[in-house]
Chains A and B, each alone.
Chain A
Amino acid sequence: MAALYVTADALEDAADGDRFVSWLGLAAAGAALASLVQVLACPSPEPARGLARWFFHRCDRARAFFSIYMTLAGVLSIALLATAAAALPGGGLAPEVGSAWLITLAGLVATYTRGRGSASRRARSRSSPPSGAAVSSSWWGWCSCSGRRPSAPTSCGIAFATCSIRGVGHRGAALHVAERPRHVAGAAAPRLGPRRRQARVLTLRLAGGVQEAHGARAQHAAPDPGRARDSRPRRLARRSGSRSTGRPSPSSGGSIRAPRASGPSWSGASRR
């Protein structure tokens, strides 16, 4: 609040005020220019040391010389509004100052974008997509969803909400989710507590974002959903059946009978 009294005391008259606002607009344009350079030339990975590391640290969103993009956005929005009246036609602003106002506006827009570094990270994360649905952020920060299953719309809806609330779209991260079958999702989960049920959608991995920076391993779903649902005894029965008969295992549509506990086993019967 001291800034209010200091400014009111330091400036003598309206001409001083105009000069102060003009310099404020130019300073904001300089910061906006730096932020534009930051976003457009954002390297990936970021430089290891020196001034470049400070300048391009977390440069996927424009932050200029501030610690975070939100501060830059707040400062630029106030500076833009303070100089907007003068920048309007008939406001008595010089053309070059008008272009500075436009640069400031572009810098404000850049605080809402993702830089090239996050774009390359996003491309890497797309190289091995797991099954299920994937939510990723676009260049302009919108969350987009791509489904690979018939039930993907549900996954996409929930993942999209997660992306919006938790900020998964931040820094170009991609959230891959999988959806449990309806009967599994409705089953009771005693380990979670009384009357708790399995979640319908579970997070497989958060690629290209915060977790990748910490070295999280991607957990891919099985390429064949039918095999993924087979239990261990069923797999054993399928393998033993194919070895004993010399034929390929029954199709997934057919039923497999488990060996009986008493009497001759499958393999024993076929060898005779």
Chain B
Amino acid sequence: MVGSIAAVTGFLVGGLSEYSFGDSEVVMLAWTIMALPSVVAKG
């Protein structure tokens, strides 16, 4: 959970200096990491 929050935060902070949201590989990994808290909440 903490790692997921840190990764998403880092992704958003990195977006201040570069447009990583337009890079498909990077954004796919970011979406994948965003799914982890829901997995933890699931059980």
Interface residues, chain A, CB within 8 Å of chain B? Answer: 1-8, 11-14, 16-17, 20-21, 66, 70-71, 74-75, 77-79, 81-86
Contact = CB atoms under 8 A, between A and B. Distances in A.
B14 A77 contact: yes
Given A3-B35, A16-B39, A17-B39, A75 B25 contact: yes
23 contacts: A3-B31, A3-B32, A4-B32, A4-B35, A8-B38, A11-B36, A12-B42, A13-B42, A14-B43, A16-B39, A21-B3, A21-B36, A74-B14, A74-B23, A74-B25, A77-B10, A78-B26, A78-B30, A79-B7, A81-B9, A82-B3, A84-B6, A85-B3
Contacts of B16: none
Contacts of A11: 35-36, 39
> Sorted from nearest, which 3 A-B pairs have the closest CB atoms?
A74-B26, A7-B35, A82-B7
A81 B7 contact: yes
A4 B40 CA distance: 14
Contacts of A81: 3, 6-7, 9-10
Contacts of A2: 31
A20 B36 CA distance: 9
A8 B39 CA distance: 6
Contact of B6 (A8, A17, A66, A82): A82
B10 A14 contact: no
B42 to A, nearest CB: 7
A114 to B, nearest CB: 18
A85 B6 CA distance: 8
Nearest to B38: A8
A86 B7 CA distance: 13
Interface in B1-39: 2-4, 6-7, 9-11, 14, 18, 20, 23, 25-26, 28-36, 38-39
A4 B30 CA distance: 9
Given A21-B36, A75-B26, A84-B3, 4 more contacts: A3-B31, A12-B42, A16-B39, A85-B2
A3 B31 CA distance: 6
A11 B40 CA distance: 9
Q: Which of A7, A12, A82, A85 has the most CB of B within 10 A?
A: A82
A70 B28 contact: no
Contact of A14 (B26, B31, B40): B40
A195 B18 CA distance: 38
Nearest to A84: B6
B3 to A, nearest CB: 4
A79 B3 CA distance: 9
A140 B23 CA distance: 25
A31 B30 CA distance: 17
A21 to B, nearest CB: 6
B36 A71 contact: no
Contacts of A20: 36
Contacts of A83: 3
Q: Which of B2, B7, B10 has the most CB of A within 10 A?
A: B7
